[in-house]
Structure formats: C-alpha cells, structure tokens
Structure 1
C-alpha cells in the first residue's frame, strides 16, 4: 500500500514540475513577445518622428540660414522611371513648400525621354516659380542634358554645366521595326482586320503607305516646333543665332555656353555655396519603394514589348 502511495506521489510531483516549467516557459515567451512588440512600436515611432521632423523646425536646424533643396532627374524621363513627372513634380512641390529652402537645384543626368513627361515637369517648374518668385531655380548639368532633359532644364532661371557635359539634341525621333521582308522570306501571311483606313498605322508587320509616313513626319515636326518654342521661351535673348541649334546635334558644355544654351559652369556644391549662400544640401528626390519599382518595371517591360515594335516618339 505504501509503495503504491509513494509511486503516486512521485508521478504527481513530476507532473506538477512539468506543468510549472511549461507555465514558466509560456510566461517567458510572453514577456519576450511583449518586449519585441514594444521594440517594433518604438522603431516605427522613431521613423515617423524622423519623417515628420517633429523634433525641431527646419529654421532651427539650420540656425535660420536655410538650406539648398536638391531634386535629381536621373536617367530616361518616362512614366515608368524614377525620373517620371510624378516623382520629379512631387519632389519639386515638397521643396517649394519648405520655407527653410533658399534655392532649388535640379540636377540633370538624362538622355531625354517622353516629350509628355518632360513637358509636365517644365510646366510645373514655371507654375512653382510663380508661387515664390524669390526662390531661385538652377539646373545643374553633370554628364548629359539632352532632348527631354534639356526640355526640363530650360524652365530654370539658369543652366550651369561642366565644360565636358553633353548638352542639346533639340529634336524628336520615332523609332520602331518593320518585319515585312522577313515575313515574305518565311512565307508568313499577315492578317490584319481593321475599321478605319489608317487604323493599322505603324503596324510593324504591314507595309507602310506614303500617306502614313507623311502623317508620321507631320507628328514629329509638330512636336519639334513645340520643343523649339519651349527652348526659346526659357532661354530668350540668350540664344545665339545659329542655324544648327535646333537640328538635333549635341555640344559640349563649353560650346553650349557659347551658343547660349547654358549660362556658365558650376556644380551642385558651388551653386549651394556661392549662389544660394546655403551650403547645407537636402535631397528632396522621390525614391520609389521596392514594390513600386518592381511593379513599374514589370509594367514597363510589358509596354516596351508592344510600343517598341510599333514605334515611339521620344525626345532622345
């Protein structure tokens, strides 16, 4: 009898010990879970605080001297790129809303791109300049400011370059492919049904008619005239009377100053220091998230596969 009681006591004590250890482990996990949740909340709160800049006003951070705003236009100006009108305009608007900004630098490294996207940025620069006429805007060209890039630059008060920068290319092009000859050799027949005599305009698998080619050249000439008007509006009397100015050629930065396409030489740092007297530079450039970049790149690749074959109009 006593042996059975001792056995039951031993088993009961073992079960109680296991239950106590399990309860202790659960409490320990709960405490760590609470700790990590608090740590995550603290991290998120810190990010929000930094983004909102709630600690001090911009004026206090710069001792009342203000700072220079930087907006970068990098790469091809296209709806699916980091240099899209959406991103550049958002950055410019943020810079203009900041009362501590003493001047805006638009740093350009672009071969051009969409005339629509470049035109939207150009229009917005003029609109913002009218809201704060005392806030200067300077376009600083580094490696390249061609076509659509120059379309953006001419909206600034001044354009500064490096002597070896590539500037200009004031022209328009439409590129694409034609596969009619290859299809004939392969014995492939194109069957295109359309309503409208020119609905198949620029179809890469169909021969082009003279009237359609003339229409395409008319489109290019019209956009080219718009480009020239924008350049004349922005540069005015500073442009030299040179017949090749609007031919699509590019020039070095040194030559662009001689032609009146640019005003002089300078860098982001020299403009902030010598022109704006605000050496501190704050980058307002909008950076898309990883998910946004993936979505845009996927959408752009799908568009490229279609538009690339049909032909696109670009300032490049």
Structure 2
C-alpha cells in the first residue's frame, strides 16, 4: 500500500525514478594550454567523482567523441574509470558519437559494453609521431642553426637538423612499446570477442557497423534508447559536465577592458594548437 501511495506523491516524497549519470568526453586528448582545457585526467576527475557519487544508479555512462591524442592521458583516464567502477560496483556503458579512435578508443575500452552508431568511426589502434623538417628552408634563408647541449642526444629529431637514422630507430622502438601496451589492453578487455583480422592492430579504422563485426564494439544503438531499454522507460539521463575554460581564463588578466598585449602573446600558439587538433579530426573526415 505504501509503495502504491508513493507513486502518486510529488517530488522527493514520491517514488524516485532511476537515474543514469552520463559523462561526455569530447575533443583531442592531451595537456591543457592557456587557451584550451584539454581532455586529460585533471579536466575530467571532478566529473568522474560526481558521476560515481550516484549510489542508486544502475550504471555510469560515457559519451565519447575523440580522435585521440596523448597515449598517457588516454591510459590514465581509462584506468581511473575502471578503478571507480570497481570501487563502486558499477557497470560502465560507453557510447561512441562521431569517432572513438586511437586514444579515444583506448578510453572506450573502459566500458563493459561499447555501443556505437553504425556510422561512427572506430579503431586506429596504433601510435604516430609527426613533425616537419626545415633544414633546406634554413639554407635558402641564409640562417644558421646554433644549438649548445650537454648530452649528445639532447637534440634528437630536431626539426632544424638533418635526420639521423639511429634517432629514427630509437623513436620507432618507443612507438613499438606504446603500441604493444595498447594491443595488450584491447586483448585484455575484448579478447573473447575479437576477430583474427590481420589489420586489427594496423592503425586502420572502420565504421561502427564493421567495428562490431570485428569485435571492437558490442552493439549498435544510441544513448537514450539503450538506457531506457535496459533500465526502464522512466529512467532519466543526468549529464555530468567536465571542466570548461572561459575567456577570462584563456588570457591572463583579461577583463571587461581587455588586455590586447597579453592576448597577442598567446594567440599565435593557440592558432597552431587549433590547426593540430583540426588535423586529428580531419583524418577521419570530420
């Protein structure tokens, strides 16, 4: 009788509806800069703590939209999610939006179930280092490069110096170690459903539908429908935000009057960061 009466009562006196907290992890993964917060452990820690504080929640969900970035920050976020899931005995649902590639997919591995849109981009299980070489440009411009070091390898892979094969091989060995760590994570989390496709760990990426066939994800679906199908049509979704940076925090000393001299100091670097991040998204046609 009491439970029946509670269903008619408003607010906190009535029967509470199930709530599933959702943390949105969006953007390139890496350290913060003066003009962007960056998707890293520090920027998501508060949101993770809040999401796992919903003691009655049947699960914690993550909505991921990331082309990748720092392997270290990706791994740290993954480990923190799994740690909190184990401590709080919560099921983790991961929903992929446009893309979960490279480090974005590494984070997605924290999910007990990974759900994607059929047109999501998933995969890119590999490691890449990219840069430019300016040696011929310096020669044409008549500029001399002067570097003084203590430690003969301190200018390894310097973009203003000719490449050294030994340095390239050293970089490749580091990439191989990081790649093996990534592969071990995929096999540990998904080994029972992975296909034996030769390209699985080649760095290729696929649509969500193909990724399901390869065993990289579990099913096709969307966040709201999946949650209501699993936990009831009355289940509510509660989005938990991550740290954002506002203009006053972009530029030191910024106020209503503005500070153009200080802004000028950080805007060129911001433009380069924006181009670098855009190149990550562009790789996946986004």
Q: Is this a same-fold pair by TM over 0.5?
A: yes
Q: Deviations over 1:249-283 (max 9, x none)?
A: 00011100000000011111012201233631111
Q: Secondary structure at the residue paired with 2:104?
A: helix
Per the alignment, do residues 292 and 263 of structure 1 end up closer, same or farther by CA in structure 2, a change over 3 Å counting?
Answer: farther
Per the alignment, do residues 292 and 104 of structure 1 end up closer, same or farther by CA in structure 2, a change over 3 Å counting?
Answer: farther
Per the alignment, do residues 301 and 173 of structure 1 end up closer, same or farther by CA in structure 2, a change over 3 Å counting?
Answer: farther
Per the alignment, do residues 89 and 181 of structure 1 end up closer, same or farther by CA in structure 2, a change over 3 Å counting?
Answer: same
Please name the residue that 1:130 is paired with: 86
Please name the residue that 1:54 is paired with: none
Larger fraction in helix: 1
Match among 43, 58, 68 for residue 87 of structure 1: 43
> CA offset at residue 295 of structure 1?
5.3
Q: Deviations over 1:217-271 (max 9, x none)?
A: 1111111111111111221211111110000000011100000000011111012
Is residue 240–residue 260 contact of structure 1 (8 Å, CA) maintained in 2? yes
In 2, Cα distance between equivalents of 1:241 and 1:142:
26
Q: Secondary structure at the residue paired with 1:100?
A: coil
Match among 32, 44, 63 for residue 107 of structure 1: 63
Is residue 96–residue 114 contact of structure 2 (8 Å, CA) maintained in 1? yes
Q: Map of 1:225-304 to 2, 5 A cutoff?
A: 225-277=180-232, 279-291=235-247, 294=250, 302=269
In 1, Cα distance between equivalents of 2:172 and 2:13:
55
Is residue 201–residue 212 contact of structure 1 (8 Å, CA) maintained in 2? yes
Q: Give the number of equivalent residue pairs.
A: 250
Q: Deviations over 1:184-229 (max 9, x none)?
A: 2222211111111111112111112111111111111111111111
TM-score by length of 2: 0.80
Please name the residue that 1:41 is paired with: none
TM-score by length of 1: 0.72
> 1:147 and 2:102 equivalent?
yes
> CA offset at residue 286 of structure 1?
1.6
In 2, Cα distance between equivalents of 1:213 and 1:304:
29
Is residue 269–residue 279 contact of structure 1 (8 Å, CA) maintained in 2? no
Is residue 95–residue 101 contact of structure 1 (8 Å, CA) maintained in 2? no
> CA offset at residue 97 of structure 1?
1.4
Q: Secondary structure at the residue paired with 2:129?
A: strand
Please name the residue that 1:157 is paired with: 112
Structure 2 unaligned blocks of 5 or more: 1-10, 253-262, 277-282
> CA offset at residue 136 of structure 1?
1.3
Please name the residue that 2:280 is paired with: none
In 2, Cα distance between equivalents of 1:295 and 1:122:
31
Q: Secondary structure at the residue paired with 1:251?
A: strand
Please name the residue that 2:167 is paired with: 212
Is residue 17–residue 236 contact of structure 2 (8 Å, CA) maintained in 1? no
In 2, Cα distance between equivalents of 1:224 and 1:303:
29
> CA offset at residue 86 of structure 1?
1.7
Per the alignment, do residues 255 and 288 of structure 1 end up closer, same or farther by CA in structure 2, a change over 3 Å counting?
Answer: same
> CA offset at residue 98 of structure 1?
2.0
Please name the residue that 1:66 is paired with: 18
Please name the residue that 1:42 is paired with: none
Please name the residue that 1:201 is paired with: 156
Per the alignment, do residues 61 and 208 of structure 1 end up closer, same or farther by CA in structure 2, a change over 3 Å counting?
Answer: farther
In 1, Cα distance between equivalents of 2:240 and 2:181:
29
Structure 1 unaligned blocks of 5 or more: 1-58, 310-315
